[in-house]
Structure 1
Amino acid sequence: MLFSIPRPKLGPNLLHLLPRHGTHTSVLKSLLPSFIADIIFPEQKPNWRLHPTSYLDGLRGIASVIVFFCHYTENEFRDLTRAYGVDQGEPSGWIQAPFVRIIFSGRPMVHIFFVISGFVLSYKPIKCIHARELDKCYTTLSSSTFRRAFRLFGPCVASTFMILLLNQIGFLGDGRFTFWDQLWDWKNVVFRQITWPWAWDKDLSPGYDIHLWTIPIEFAHSMLLFMVILMVARLRLRIRQAMVFGLIVYCLACGKWAAFEFLAGLFLAEIHVLQAARAKDWESSEMALFPAKRSAGSTVKTMFHVSIILVGLFIGGWPNRDADKTPGTRFFLAQTPMPFAKMDHLAPQKFWFGLAAAFMVWSVGELPVLRRFFEGPLAQYCGRVSYAVYICHGPVLGLFSKLVLGSPSRPAVGQPGTPDFREAVMGDGVRGLMGVEGTTQKTMSWFVGLCILGPLVIWAADIFWRAIDNPVVSFGKKIEEACLDDSAPSPRSQGYSAAA
């Protein structure tokens, strides 16, 4: 359940009004957001359990919501993304201030996605390596590699096809294509942009949903990650860590930010496994019988990780424009190393976003307060629907933003009877109600619009998660099981060496 709200107490005359079984129940439950359906039908509520990396799911969920906030703000309230403290003809508002502006800074969240992906995809193989279960490690890598395309591309193919249909009936786009022409155009977008892994870390700006530019990058670097794990699986611990760290430095030296982030996730996953093993050894020792005392070292460690989080939040508020004029940000911009300093205008922020993402993912796991928050019900729910939120927020905003936000009132211009006279126009929607004069009114309009559009995005994402996302994952598993050759003898049974 998303919120800790008891089920409403319905009297005997009202309880029978809620359907309990049959087709109507299934339809009602499928159309309601899952956390509301869980309140109405508690006996059908899934039993979600935490696992050692659940906090990363929560972090990814909150990050996906921030990406939605980002695109909503950049598309509809672009003035609020201005750099704080830079004179642009209008005073800066509190929402533009450092640290606060992270709530609509979606660009660094993409880098957090990639570090988390590297961590989560590496976690199980690394655990198998430490347990000396190399056969299980190789099986896990084989399964993950086979199913990765289904997991990433399947929901995107479905969502963009829905956008095609919405375009054809006139709800999105101009509908200028015939159905067959647009179907061919959609096919080209799917094959040459959404599922195109050969550009590595280039923004291909896919048609139908430009926000899916990260998906081919995610796929390509997942394959790179699996190859690196396979390469280092049989190495000794210190040699493996040194090699992975060397590859991380090499990727930075080559300007390959996404590769750096995935491999940083691999490095952090091994640190996590080592720490868990040490904690288990400590719990089984005699020292665990004595109560632990908070030492000066633990206080210093906490302050260190808090400092990392604060610096990361500040870097995450990197403005889209005028970074060279923004207090604080211009310092980091000046320290950007080569080749990021000269690649393109976005490369410096990608370097700092990637670096901050790696350290922040590490520090979140080291701070119990943050870890508990990301393991909480709200963050965990966001984690479950995170991919659906990422996929659905663009089309939902395209469908409802203009309807909800409307336009502001405009006063009359010129003198009546003259050629340049324009009559006053009454505003409508949130902008007409709240106004957009000055930063305060824009911020209020932004907030009210978000309170209306946010639930629509979450609702659509929840339905997409259950109707498309989860079935695609299950479909990938079934395809893999159907294709497996269980009759094939293992190399060991044939007398082949591991190096053959």
Structure 2
Amino acid sequence: MNGPYTDGQSPSFEEKVGLLDERSLSSDSESDNGVIDLDSHLPLMKWVAYLLSPIGFLRSLHWRASVIRFVWFFIPSFLQGRQMREQIRPSKIHPTAYLDGMRGLAALFVFFCHYTYQGFSIAFAWGFDNTNYQFMKLPIIRLWYSGPASVSIFFVISGYALSYRPIKLIRSRNTKEFSNAMASTVFRRFIRLFAPTTISTFVIFCLIRLGFYELTRDFAKDKTYHRNVVEPHPARFANGWNQLCDWIWATFNMIHVFGWEEQGGRNPYDVHLWTIPIEYRCSLYLFLVIVGTARLRTTWRYMTLLTVMGVTYRKSRWELLMFFFGMALAEWDHIRAAHVSHAVLPISEKQAKPRRNILGQIFWNLVCILGLYLLSFPDDGWGKTPGWVYLSTWIPEWWVGAKFRFWQGIGAVVFIIGVSRSSLFKRFFNSGVVQYFGKISYALYLMHGPVMHVIGYHWENLAWSITGVDGEWYTVGWVLGACFCVPSVIWCADIFWRAVDIPTVKFAKWLESKVVIKED
């Protein structure tokens, strides 16, 4: 994202928002400062001596610097000094960087959901059936472990990010650059989504064959500790070849674009990746709508999009509807020039502006709170839960999808609209810590499952062996385990981000540059 790009290689907005910052890590030349180049300084006779002496030859190598770089790579990026901190949160951030931070927290909350639901029932909200009066189940408070609500936010942001630049080019009537940008986005989308998942599940395959999953297999299915949802480990085949064939088929099966089955393409090696086939399928539909409406005037493009959204809504395709909402919001931001610097206002207008700004900010902060409340719609038991009974009657009877997706989806859209106008919420999502989670969001989503099973279960087992599982001590042990499991997941996600996520984007760009038709 730094430096000039050719038309065919311009960075898509998807890569700027919520995926990663593609600036390269420290180069070898920067890392080797102070290391003497023996090739240019040692006399010929000394090189002959080194060739005759293997030990001397090894001493002549730059292995110390290589080892240091290798070890240093495993240090979390936020501890690696100013250069990496600048990569995480540049001094000048993109106007829509708040979406990056929002997606990062959503990924973190999905992890919290999968850590929490194994020990506690989280589908029911505060007051369900005159029970569940715990503080953590109150609306908005419960969002920190609400995975389904976070998924709705994922899909709206993906629709926005994938649409933003194409719509900008459409509105500027730059037909040539639009066609290049769309071709590039479509070509790289598959690699962007499935290359990291292939690598992450292959790592799981290797860990299974090496026996690491066997160390916690009994713990994973022990109802003494996992009292609610049991996430069994992937099966370990007796034959390694059969296991490899099974992994290959599971990886191939994730490319699920020809059906709408519930969690179609689910990968048994990491059951949390069921959203990735949906992301890809909905992306293709979104690209089709963008291209199909590219030559329409703004009014007719909006009318066409609203018609498509109406059909999608009637068909209960909530996930695709979220993508289309993202496209609609992206175009609306372009219409209102949300991310364009405005000219200096006259003095008279400046004097009247502060009062309007204060009232406007109060209004949009309230819109954000409304969105958070709707996102808190319970996954189950809404008909017997205070605060949700009336809203549940508004869910159409013909809605064949999961009922809770209806209001959670609306809440995601309302919240993102509110945040786009709220300086308070934007400031929060643009903060350094939140932006960091935005950078590692995809890596965090891919890594939290295997790390939780291979490393996290050891921490939980150790914690409960100290606290016991009787009464409130069960919760104490759960919290103690989280104190070690959460940092472990973040650390591994940070490594995966730098080792796989960033190189994947670079590889997709490199591959595209090698196979596209060169312009004259």
Common fold, TM-score beyond 0.5? Answer: yes
The answer to whether residue 408 in structure 2 is matched with residue 365 in structure 1 is no
In the alignment, the residues of structure 2 paired with residue 31 and residue 279 of structure 1 have an alpha-carbon distance, to the nearest angstrom, of 40
What is the aligned partner in structure 1 of residue 43 from structure 2? none
Q: Which of the residues 189, 194, 198 maps onto 2:258?
A: 198
Name the CA shift for 1:386/1:72 in 2 (closer, same or farther; >3 Å).
same
Report if aligned partners of 2:196, 2:500 keep a CA contact under 8 Å in 1: yes
In the alignment, the residues of structure 2 paired with residue 237 and residue 321 of structure 1 have an alpha-carbon distance, to the nearest angstrom, of 40
Q: Which of the residues 297, 305, 308 maps onto 2:364?
A: 305
The answer to whether residue 142 in structure 2 is matched with residue 101 in structure 1 is yes
How big is each residue's C-alpha offset from its partner over 1:294-351, in whole Å with a ceiling of 9 and x where there is no partner? 345x4554344333322332333333432222112232222102432xx25xx21111
Q: Which of the residues 305, 310, 313 maps onto 1:244?
A: 305
Instruction: Please list, as runs of the form range in 1=range in 2, the aligned pairs for 1:173-322 lying within 5 A after superposition.
Output: 173=233, 174-192=235-253, 194-200=254-260, 202-204=262-264, 205-276=266-337, 280=341, 282-283=342-343, 286=346, 290-291=350-351, 293-296=353-356, 298-322=357-381
In the alignment, the residues of structure 1 paired with residue 168 and residue 343 of structure 2 have an alpha-carbon distance, to the nearest angstrom, of 19
Deviates more, 1:247-256 or 1:459-468: 247-256
What is the aligned partner in structure 2 of residue 326 from structure 1? 385
What is the aligned partner in structure 2 of residue 55 from structure 1? 98
The answer to whether residue 491 in structure 2 is matched with residue 431 in structure 1 is no
What is the aligned partner in structure 2 of residue 447 from structure 1? 479
Report if aligned partners of 2:88, 2:436 keep a CA contact under 8 Å in 1: no
What is the aligned partner in structure 2 of residue 482 from structure 1? 514
What is the aligned partner in structure 1 of residue 197 from structure 2? 156
In the alignment, the residues of structure 1 paired with residue 201 and residue 114 of structure 2 have an alpha-carbon distance, to the nearest angstrom, of 18
How many angstroms does 1:185 deviate by?
A: 0.7
How big is each residue's C-alpha offset from its partner over 1:240-266, in whole Å with a ceiling of 9 and x where there is no partner? 122212222221112111111111000
Report if aligned partners of 2:124, 2:132 keep a CA contact under 8 Å in 1: no
3-state SS in 2 of match to 1:324: helix
In the alignment, the residues of structure 2 paired with residue 366 and residue 332 of structure 1 have an alpha-carbon distance, to the nearest angstrom, of 26
What is the aligned partner in structure 2 of residue 130 from structure 1? 171
TM, length-normalised to structure 1 = 0.81
How many angstroms does 1:24 deviate by?
A: 2.6
How big is each residue's C-alpha offset from its partner over 1:375-417, in whole Å with a ceiling of 9 and x where there is no partner? 11111110110000000000011112331112xxxxxxxxxxx
How big is each residue's C-alpha offset from its partner over 1:138-182, in whole Å with a ceiling of 9 and x where there is no partner? 111110000000000000000111111111122224523311101
Name the CA shift for 1:242/1:302 in 2 (closer, same or farther; >3 Å).
farther
How many angstroms does 1:201 deviate by?
A: 6.4
How big is each residue's C-alpha offset from its partner over 1:171-221, in whole Å with a ceiling of 9 and x where there is no partner? 2245233111011111111112x2222224631232101111111110111
Unaligned runs of 5+ in 1: 1-15, 407-428, 490-500
The answer to whether residue 134 in structure 2 is matched with residue 74 in structure 1 is no
What is the aligned partner in structure 2 of residue 417 from structure 1? none
What is the aligned partner in structure 2 of residue 170 from structure 1? 211
Name the CA shift for 1:369/1:134 in 2 (closer, same or farther; >3 Å).
same
In the alignment, the residues of structure 1 paired with residue 161 and residue 438 of structure 2 have an alpha-carbon distance, to the nearest angstrom, of 13
Q: Tell me which amino acid in the other structure corresponds to 2:414.
A: F
Q: Which of the residues 158, 170, 184 maps onto 1:143?
A: 184
Report if aligned partners of 1:81, 1:320 keep a CA contact under 8 Å in 2: yes
In the alignment, the residues of structure 2 paired with residue 153 and residue 243 of structure 1 have an alpha-carbon distance, to the nearest angstrom, of 31
Q: Tell me which amino acid in the other structure corresponds to 2:337.
A: A
In the alignment, the residues of structure 2 paired with residue 162 and residue 209 of structure 1 have an alpha-carbon distance, to the nearest angstrom, of 11
3-state SS in 2 of match to 1:371: helix
In the alignment, the residues of structure 2 paired with residue 245 and residue 287 of structure 1 have an alpha-carbon distance, to the nearest angstrom, of 40
Name the CA shift for 1:357/1:213 in 2 (closer, same or farther; >3 Å).
same
Report if aligned partners of 2:376, 2:408 keep a CA contact under 8 Å in 1: no
Q: Tell me which amino acid in the other structure corresponds to 2:127.
A: G
How big is each residue's C-alpha offset from its partner over 1:208-241, in whole Å with a ceiling of 9 and x where there is no partner? 0111111111011111111111111111112212
The answer to whether residue 102 in structure 2 is matched with residue 64 in structure 1 is no
Report if aligned partners of 2:152, 2:408 keep a CA contact under 8 Å in 1: yes
Q: Tell me which amino acid in the other structure corresponds to 2:310.
A: V
Name the CA shift for 1:480/1:404 in 2 (closer, same or farther; >3 Å).
same
How big is each residue's C-alpha offset from its partner over 1:4-59, in whole Å with a ceiling of 9 and x where there is no partner? xxxxxxxxxxxx9xx998213311221111111226x7799677341121111110
How big is each residue's C-alpha offset from its partner over 1:59-94, in whole Å with a ceiling of 9 and x where there is no partner? 00010000000000012x224554322358x76321
**Aligned-residue CA RMSD in angstroms?**
2.7
Name the CA shift for 1:279/1:35 in 2 (closer, same or farther; >3 Å).
closer
The answer to whether residue 453 in structure 2 is matched with residue 398 in structure 1 is yes
Q: Tell me which amino acid in the other structure corresponds to 2:286.
A: L
How many angstroms does 1:285 deviate by?
A: 5.8
Q: Tell me which amino acid in the other structure corresponds to 1:106.
A: G
Name the CA shift for 1:399/1:299 in 2 (closer, same or farther; >3 Å).
same
What is the aligned partner in structure 1 of residue 5 from structure 2? none
How big is each residue's C-alpha offset from its partner over 1:400-441, in whole Å with a ceiling of 9 and x where there is no partner? 2331112xxxxxxxxxxxxxxxxxxxxxx3234445444x54
In the alignment, the residues of structure 2 paired with residue 83 and residue 401 of structure 1 have an alpha-carbon distance, to the nearest angstrom, of 27
In the alignment, the residues of structure 2 paired with residue 288 and residue 132 of structure 1 have an alpha-carbon distance, to the nearest angstrom, of 36
What is the aligned partner in structure 1 of residue 398 from structure 2? 339
How big is each residue's C-alpha offset from its partner over 1:361-385, in whole Å with a ceiling of 9 and x where there is no partner? 1111110011111111111110110
Unaligned runs of 5+ in 2: 1-33, 35-61, 214-232
Aligned residues: 438
What is the aligned partner in structure 1 of residue 222 from structure 2? none
How many angstroms does 1:482 deviate by?
A: 0.5
State the identity as a percent.
34
3-state SS in 2 of match to 1:467: helix
How big is each residue's C-alpha offset from its partner over 1:86-125, in whole Å with a ceiling of 9 and x where there is no partner? 358x763211222211110011111110100010111111
What is the aligned partner in structure 1 of residue 125 from structure 2? 83
In the alignment, the residues of structure 2 paired with residue 433 and residue 448 of structure 1 have an alpha-carbon distance, to the nearest angstrom, of 10
TM, length-normalised to structure 2 = 0.78
Name the CA shift for 1:42/1:316 in 2 (closer, same or farther; >3 Å).
closer
How many angstroms does 1:287 deviate by?
A: 6.3
Q: Which of the residues 442, 460, 468 maps onto 1:387?
A: 442
Report if aligned partners of 2:419, 2:426 keep a CA contact under 8 Å in 1: yes
Q: Tell me which amino acid in the other structure corresponds to 1:333.
A: S
In the alignment, the residues of structure 1 paired with residue 448 and residue 163 of structure 2 have an alpha-carbon distance, to the nearest angstrom, of 28
Name the CA shift for 1:277/1:82 in 2 (closer, same or farther; >3 Å).
closer
In the alignment, the residues of structure 2 paired with residue 285 and residue 291 of structure 1 have an alpha-carbon distance, to the nearest angstrom, of 10
Q: Tell me which amino acid in the other structure corresponds to 1:259.
A: L
3-state SS in 1 of match to 2:159: helix
